[in-house]
Amino acid sequence: MSEASPLGERQGGELKWQRLSPWAVLLLLLSGSASLLRQHMPLVLGAGAGLALVERLGLRELALGGAVLLILAVLISLLYYRRFRYCCDGDVLIVQKGLLEHREFKVAARHVQSIVIRQPVYMRPFGLVLWEVETLAGEASRIALPGIRRERAEALERELRPPEQWPGVASESAPAAERQVVPCFAISGKAIVLHGLASRSIYLIAAMLSPLVRPLERWLHDRLPQLDLDTWMPGSPLLAVLVGLLAALTLLALLAILAAWWRFHGFVLLDAGERQIQRSGLFHRQEQTLSLARLQVVEWVQTGLGRLLGRGYLVCHQYGALGGDAGESRRFLVPGLSEAQGAALTAHFWQTYSRQSDSRQGAAGQPLRRVDPSYRRVLFLRYLLLLAGGAVLVLGVLIPLELSWPAWSGLAAVLPLLAAVLAHWRWIATGWAQEQGFLRVRRGVVGQRTGIFPMQHLISLRLQQSWLQRRRGVATLHLELANGRQTLPYLKEDDARRLADTLLFTAESAQLV
């Protein structure tokens, strides 16, 4: 690669193509294996399929099969490397790749919405990174260059910076390229621990480990009689169960904290004017760039435990978010925030919003308006049906129990109470506020998510009324946004229609200026 054309730009009318680093072959193998292992580990370990396969085939045959697969994988990686090439033609990145089917991708700078640079631990010794670019078509359009030098990745990032970030275009006073990069948030050790506890990782880890429960149960069943339990186990069975539960919860919490540490160690958010850059990762370093011009929705998220601990995180949504809430870990996420920090950063991302609301309150702004109380009654009926159906299915069919009449009566009394509590919590959590050009929508039950977005970012809307809603004079408003749907259920019909008209006017008139 010559110094004059670090990105392989056009020279003498010919495009000068660049290849991945030769080490990329090894890295492709490693990342592919790591991904396979991660995806199939619960199945292989948990369900005992791995052991069954070893017993059925024998170790030698399995090793032979593994060697053949490895050779095949090496050959495929070599072919992939040979076919993979890229270059820049002006501000357009061209990538050609494909094993059987040859494909060419072209990404123009004006269509770029975010750029991510990842450096897994096994890439560090080679000084290589995994560079990814995402266009306005969303996460499905993501294109990766797996295994290029860091300096080349940074040069690509500069080359593909959207036009509004080019010097002289963004602002007259302080062009983006000349602005200094200022740290605006750095995570502390305590915040990482609290984020680990308050994030959804704890539930995800529990779900991931659930296939291990059955083998563990079998192992305990075989081993327990041989152990002298009386010496260290509590005498009471109830106490023993409680201790066991506490131990399991502690383990899950520990794993969640470790996961948070792995992902967010050294997290720092840098303000480079139009660009917001975040860097984090213990072994797996990651750098993500967000263009504020492409930002569509900022969401403040608090789980149930997070609300108790006073912690939450911000998710910045752009176009074409796939996977809903489950896929948010791939997005621009600011973790371990207190409520005040969350409000301040929301105001930082939406600068016009911050000018309108009290700087101390930030995202809190004016109090949210509740939806019609009939929503609570509808929710109560839904939850009651769901709980009653679940109870009948579990107690009547799956685990038939001989319950006495008082026990059934107690259950019949508890279910409506539980349904009423859940319905009330969800009704309380559901709210909205229209603040000048912004809309704030909150949803949830125990955990809560509050989306804040300029009204001009609406993509489409749907006003819906069932026959019951028409009788009660309420309506549900579904708002389609870049990151998915926001629903405002059971608004007074007049409010719903007024809000729909305002949203449409704002979105349509904003495109005309």
Partner 1 sequence: MTFTNASLDPQNLPALAEAPLEPVSPRLAPCQAVLRSLHWLLLTGLAALVPFMIADIAAWQPWPAVAVALLGASGIVLGWLEARRRAYGLRQHDLIYRRGLLVQSTQVLPLARLQHIETTSNPVERAFGLVRLVCFTAGGRGADMVLEGLTADRAAAIRQHLLARLESAEPEPTGADAP
| Residue from the set 335, 431, 454, 489 that interacts with partner 1 by CB under 8 A | 454
Residue 501 contacts partner 1 per CB under 8 A: yes
- Scan residues 421-450 and list those touching partner 1 (CB under 8 A): 436-437
Judged by CB under 8 A, the stretch of 8-16, 67-75, 134-142, 221-229 that binds partner 1 is 134-142
Q: Which of 121, 459, 471, 473 binds partner 1 (CB under 8 A)?
A: 459
Yes or no: say if 243 and 234 are a contact pair by the CB < 8 Å rule. Answer: yes
- Binding positions for partner 1, 3-32, rule CB under 8 A: none
Q: Which residue has the tokens 């429960």?
A: 213
User: Looking at beta carbons only, is 226 or 351 nearer to partner 1?
Assistant: 351
3-state secondary structure (DSSP) of residue 269: strand
| Residue ranges in 288-347 that form contacts with partner 1 under rule CB under 8 A | 292-295, 319-322
With binding defined as CB under 8 A, does residue 142 bind partner 1?
Answer: no
452 binds partner 1 (CB under 8 A): no
255 binds partner 1 (CB under 8 A): no
CB of 438 closer than 8 Å to CB of 453? yes
**Quick one: which segment of 20-28, 176-184, 442-450, 463-471 binds partner 1 (CB under 8 A)?**
463-471
d(CA 20, CA 124): 16
Answer yes or no whether residue 210 interacts with partner 1 by CB under 8 A. no
Q: Which amino acid is at 186?
A: A
156-180 per-residue burial string, b: 16 or more CB within 10 A, e: under 16: bbebbbbeebeeeebeeeebbbebe
Chain-centre distance of CA 367, in angstroms? Answer: 27
362, two tokens: 């930030």
Which string of b and e fits 475-513 if b means at least 16 CB within 10 Å?
bbbebebbbeebebbbbebebbeebbeebeebbeeeeee
Residue 338 or 356: the one with the smaller Cβ distance to partner 1 is 356
Kindly state the number of chain residues that form the binding site for partner 1, as judged by CB under 8 A.
Answer: 56
505 binds partner 1 (CB under 8 A): yes
Applying CB under 8 A, does 462 fall inside the site for partner 1? yes
Q: What amino acid occupies position 332?
A: F
* Residue 263 found at the interface with partner 1 (CB under 8 A): no
Which one among 48, 138, 304, 447 touches partner 1, defined by CB under 8 A?
138
The distance of closest approach from Cβ of residue 238 to partner 1 in the complex, given in angstroms and rounded to an integer, is 43
Residue 471 binds partner 1 (CB under 8 A):
no
What is the C-alpha end-to-end distance of the chain, expressed in Å?
45
Tell how far CA 441 is from the center of its chain: 19
- Closest separation between CB of residue 505 and partner 1, Å? 5
460 binds partner 1 (CB under 8 A): yes
State the nearest-atom distance from the C-beta of 273 to partner 1, in Å: 10
Phi and psi for 290 in degrees, rounded to 5?
-120, 130
Give Cα separations from 468 to 251, 379, 465, 472 (angstroms).
Answer: 48, 14, 8, 6
Closest contact distance (angstroms) between CB of 178 and partner 1 is: 17
Contacts of residue 284, Cβ cutoff 8 Å, sequence gap at least 6: 118, 119, 120, 121, 262, 263
Minimum Å distance from CB 467 to partner 1? Answer: 5
Q: Does 91 bind partner 1 (CB under 8 A)?
A: no
432: left (phi over 0), alpha (psi -120 to 50) or beta: beta
Residue type, 126: F
Is residue 359 part of the contact set for partner 1 (CB under 8 A)? Answer: no
Using CB under 8 A, which of 464, 471, 473, 487 touches partner 1? 464
Among 3, 125, 402, 467, binds partner 1 (CB under 8 A): 467
Which residue's CB is nearer to partner 1, number 283 or number 505?
A: 505
> 367: how many CB neighbours lie within 10 A of its CB?
8
Residue 469 beta carbon to partner 1: minimum distance, rounded to whole angstroms: 8
User: Could you say whether residue 457 binds partner 1 (CB under 8 A)?
Assistant: yes
What distance in Å separates the CA atoms of residue 370 and residue 491, rounded to the nearest whole number?
8
Q: How far apart are CA 147 and CA 403, in angstroms?
A: 63
Q: Does 497 bind partner 1 (CB under 8 A)?
A: yes
Mark 160-189 with x for binding to partner 1 (rule: CB under 8 A) and - for no binding. Answer: --x-x-----x-------------------
In angstroms, what is the minimal distance from the CB of 398 to partner 1? 21
Residue 474: its H or E element: strand 474-481
CB of residue 439 to partner 1, shortest distance in Å: 13
Structure tokens at 40: 């199939």
Interface mask toward partner 1 for 269-288; x: CB under 8 A: -----x--------------
By CB under 8 A, residue 463 contacts partner 1:
yes
Nearer to partner 1, 231 or 351 (CB): 351
Is the distance from CB of 286 to CB of 119 less than 8 angstroms? Answer: yes
DSSP annotation of 180 reads P
| C-alpha dist (Å) from residue 155 to 59, 73, 101, 291, 346 | 48, 31, 29, 17, 30
Kindly tell me which of 59 and 140 has the beta carbon lying closer to partner 1: 140
Check residue 458 for interaction with partner 1 (CB under 8 A). yes
Binding site for partner 1 (CB under 8 A): 110-111, 113, 136-138, 140-141, 162, 164, 170, 274, 292-295, 319-322, 349-352, 436-437, 454, 456-467, 470, 480, 482, 484, 497-498, 500-502, 504-508, 510-511, 513
